[in-house]
Amino acid sequence: SESEFSKYINNGGLVIAKFTVSWCGPCKMIAPRFKELADENKNATFLHIDGDVNKVFLFIIYALKKGTLYSVI
């Protein structure tokens, strides 16, 4: 959820978020490596965010591409 996402982003630690949707081929291809990285880096928080379920995050992805993330959060 959006509130959970904000909690992780604002905790001060390293957060790595993977935004995906079910139809994204490249997202599926990197999924095993993302899990490996999460297992190898316990000092970071790894988030898997499903855009099919959490539509607000699709807007965040758009903002990231446009370089305006800080105006969204």
27 is annotated as an active-site residue? yes
The one catalytic residue among 14, 16, 24, 64: 24
CA distance 22 to 1: 17
- Contact assessment for residue 43 and residue 15, using Cβ atoms and an 8 Å cutoff: no
67 is annotated as an active-site residue? no
The one catalytic residue among 27, 47, 58, 63: 27
> Could you list the active site residues?
24, 27
